[in-house]
Structure 1
Amino acid sequence: MELSTRLQGGRHVKQAKCKGAGIVNKNRLKLNHNGFGLMEVMISMIVLAIGLLGLAPMITLSIHGNCISRDNTVVSELLRQKVEQFEGTTAMPAMPYQEYEEGLDDIYNRTTYISDNTCDSLVPAGIYHIRVRVNWVDKRNVGRSMSYATYICD
């Protein structure tokens, strides 16, 4: 192969003469270095896979957090319903009052205590102390409970 230089458009262009092939522009012989090679793609896939594996524990933690949040929302509603039931009544039951409800939404147990000044000397006359407690076992078999207490007037 014989190299020669010629002037084209004000630039010097190198040419190679090959036997039987005529003149070949040497710039065409250069490899195209645009794009990604196989090794670069493989390394980026490995880095991406390691990153996604790092996210897996956060996904399970997020699912567990959503379950806890759902349970807390349901329990708050059960507590609110029971307190509003007694706030809306005109006649309170005989004191001391205790009620136990089992199997609410299949997993929740609710206990209600109501006392007045005949049961608790710290409660003024005409005022009732209501305490509601909900117990349940979550999906990880951990016992949980939430309670709410308030005073209502006669």
Structure 2
Amino acid sequence: MKFRHLRNEKGISLLEAMVAFIIFSFGLIGLAPMFSLSIESNVIARDNSFASNLIKETIEEYQGVGSLPSLPFEETEDILWTKPTLSGESTSSESASRTNIFSRTISLEDNSTDASIPNGVVQINVNISWLNLYNKQKNLSSTSYLIES
């Protein structure tokens, strides 16, 4: 009995498919660190956004106030910010890991404390500090000027 060898070279063999899958897997393994890096970057951006919004809120608050406190004025307060939870996520057991404390220092000065500030102008200094993802101190500061009425 003679056996005829089938020579159908159309299509992909199982071995070729496995080799292609292995090469593709190595490519995906190379991308894995990018996912953790993107999550890390989102956390940093979230903290910076929150701090800059606190600065903006503070400056707008003093711009909208009819009368300013007696100058010079300085105040420091801690702001507890709880990260939003996803639906179905436990809130009690993980609450400590989901909170950040931002410290806001506000100082108002006029020309009685700083001669470089013109008469009738109040300098508003706002400094926000917090601990970042790696427990390192981060600061964000802004200075604005307000004309006294």
Q: Distance in 1 between matches of 2:23 and 2:139?
A: 44
Give runs of aligned pairs for residues 13-92 of structure 1, distance below 5 A: 30-92=6-68
Q: CA deviation at 1:30?
A: 3.5
- TM-score (structure 2 length as normaliser): 0.81
Q: CA deviation at 1:143?
A: 1.4
Give runs of aligned pairs for residues 118-133 of structure 1, distance below 5 A: 118-133=112-127
SS in 1 for 2:113: coil
- TM-score (structure 1 length as normaliser): 0.78
Percent of residue pairs identical: 35
* Contact 2:129/2:140 (<8 A) preserved: yes
Greater strand share, structure number: 1
Q: Distance in 2 between matches of 1:53 and 1:116?
A: 58
Matched, 1:137 2:137: no
Partner of 2:145: 151
Q: Distance in 1 between matches of 2:135 and 2:58?
A: 26
Q: Distance in 2 between matches of 1:50 and 1:151?
A: 56
* Contact 2:44/2:133 (<8 A) preserved: no
Larger Rg: 1
SS in 1 for 2:35: helix
Number of residue pairs aligned between Structure 1 and Structure 2 = 129
Question: Which amino acid in the other structure matches residue 130 of structure 2?
Answer: W
Asked which structure has the greater RCO (Cα within 8 Å, sep 6+), the reply is 2
**Structure 2: any 5+ residue segments left out of the alignment?**
82-99
SS in 1 for 2:61: helix
Q: CA deviation at 1:33?
A: 1.7
Q: CA deviation at 1:46?
A: 1.0
Partner of 2:96: none
Partner of 2:107: 113
SS in 2 for 1:44: helix
Q: CA deviation at 1:128?
A: 0.2
Partner of 2:97: none
List per-residue Cα deviations over 1:69-109 (Å, max 9, x = no partner): 11111111100010011111121111110010113314211
Q: Distance in 2 between matches of 1:80 and 1:86?
A: 10
Q: Distance in 1 between matches of 2:116 and 2:79?
A: 33
